[in-house]
Chain A
């Protein structure tokens, strides 16, 4: 039999129908739904007299515009209406919904894995570009638009053109203070914003094997930021240990059967990729973005670079930065620890370990927004909330929050933020706001010193 990559195995396993000259029709194992990209899709179904084909394979949550304090009452009218409409759509179609206030509510890409809904070998879609996160489990997972959400609701299938294969081989061992976020930021800095277009990416090599599931999710999450259709990691014992015992994980005999199958989900020896990118983890440093796209990134030990394009010049103007300025000289106003990239328990632990016994700089306003209600609860059991609060952090409820600023958590114009999120686009965290992306320990360190800083000086 022909050698295949992991991505092609996952693809083949989901083909419902294949015909020459047409895209493959793929079956979707799990469709995750949230309040912002779904209302028009449900409305489209209603207008055509259709229903959701597989409500049992559809799971909804509220995350994008939920307030992170004050409950639903703190939401603006439009946000509340979107949440009401989602609740009504889920009720009408029999879809399980984890709404604001429920114990399982959270960012859609955090709750899928933690509930055990995300498993190796699955095809997962969601009307959100960071759906690639779920690829960390050896799943094929990608973001779709609202029309495609409607297609999946109606048919549980999606027509897709076959994609190419890229490998990112990460060798070596991560040095102290350098994280999964730095692997992916460093990678995007090299590849640019679009070289992954039209490709399914497999992250491989000893440094990826050495990452926890949380770290792998961080890497896969940002695949879209270099244009990739999806990112994934072949499942291994780390994956199986994470999945086992979770609410939706297979149990007993079914677990053994699943394991047998999951162990076959690896790229065959001799399978060819269209391209291979080599990264040496042992040479990586903590990274920080200086511009307005994630590829505008340098090691924190560096300086703001000289512009090489009009895009760079525009970014420097927007960020109010001069070339040659050491990153560590840049003062910040806000710190955001949160988002589907970096708001899992491990991320909060890493940030708390830097913060422990220290105080947030008096000129900085800092907040932690756990990725899910259950992450929040687990952190509180460990006392992490006390570490953050004692240092002067705000400790909020779960949601996407200031990653995209659809709720009341936004930057004021001109404010500069050290953020663990995934996008530093103009206005992303609030109109006129300036975002520097980095890892949770780096953001924690910036909160304490009041400027961008190499976390290795604090540990």
Chain B
């Protein structure tokens, strides 16, 4: 577990804009918190936190830009779960799509985890999605998560396949849409095979 004891950590910090020019989904790890790490002695670069897979952070984590590159970078760096008192909505949704678990715990419990890891950087916690708990030596904190999101994560389901099962519903909706709604018009699709 690694601590980032700051509130309002925005996605511009998590992955600065110059790294959004790539067209791949992976390879963002080296650029995580690029500007902060460039300043030297950034907490995640301290040897005692090397290999951490859980990040514990302040409130409103992931605010700002919708860039999914932020969870991609956290995942590529090695994190599997982020624990914070609150998350920005788009960031949390992006985490789930990336297979990264965003765990919301009350302030006091997050503070306890940060204090613990400051005291003993080698401390281990288990983030268990099955039982919805964060457990460690002498404590077990239950967290809430949308049950549907939980199932998607546990089963590794993908949205598109699930939605495609409802094609008849979508087609029915399309038929009852108002005729005046704007359409940019197909521009002559040359769909590649």
- The chain A residues found within 8 Å of chain B, CB to CB, are 16-17, 21-23, 25, 27, 29-30, 36-37, 39-40, 43-44, 48, 50-51, 55-59, 64-65, 76, 78-79, 81-82, 85, 90-96, 116-117, 119, 122, 127-129, 143-148, 150-151, 154-157, 159, 161, 193-194, 197-198, 224, 227, 229, 248-250, 254-255, 257-258, 261, 293, 309-311, 314, 404-406, 423, 425-428, 431
A196 to nearest B CB, angstroms? 9
B184 in contact with A96 (CB, 8 Å): yes
B66 in contact with A127 (CB, 8 Å): yes
B12 in contact with A96 (CB, 8 Å): no
Chain B hits for A76, CB < 8 A = 21
A194 in contact with B63 (CB, 8 Å): yes
Alpha-carbon distance between A332 and B169 when the two chains are bound, in angstroms: 56
Select from chain A the residue with minimum beta-carbon distance to B168. Answer: A17
B184 in contact with A59 (CB, 8 Å): yes
A55 in contact with B12 (CB, 8 Å): no
Which of B41-49, B89-97, B112-120, B132-140 binds A? B89-97
Chain B hits for A55, CB < 8 A = 184, 186-187, 189
> Is B179 interfacial (CB 8 A cutoff)?
yes
Partner of B159, one of A159, A249, A257, A428: A159
- Chain B contact residues: helix, strand, loop or mixed: loop
Select from chain B the residue with minimum beta-carbon distance to A228. Answer: B89
Partner of B59, one of A51, A79, A194: A194
Partner of B191, one of A39, A92, A148: A92
Chain B hits for A406, CB < 8 A = 17-18, 20-21
A194 in contact with B86 (CB, 8 Å): yes
A145 in contact with B93 (CB, 8 Å): yes
A401 to nearest B CB, angstroms? 12
A197, A257, A261 interface centre (most CB from chain B within 10 Å): A197
Alpha-carbon distance between A64 and B188 when the two chains are bound, in angstroms: 26
10 contacts between A and B (CB under 8 A): A27-B170, A29-B177, A37-B20, A51-B191, A65-B21, A128-B65, A144-B90, A406-B20, A406-B21, A426-B35
Residue interface bits B117-160, CB-to-A below 8 A is 1, else 0: 00000000000000000000000000000111000000000011
A145 in contact with B68 (CB, 8 Å): yes
B184 in contact with A248 (CB, 8 Å): yes
A428 in contact with B12 (CB, 8 Å): yes
B181 to nearest A CB, angstroms? 6
Alpha-carbon distance between A375 and B7 when the two chains are bound, in angstroms: 38
Q: With A51-B191, A157-B170, A406-B18 in contact, do A56 and B184 touch (Cβ < 8 Å)? A: yes
Chain B hits for A93, CB < 8 A = 189, 191
Alpha-carbon distance between A335 and B146 when the two chains are bound, in angstroms: 44
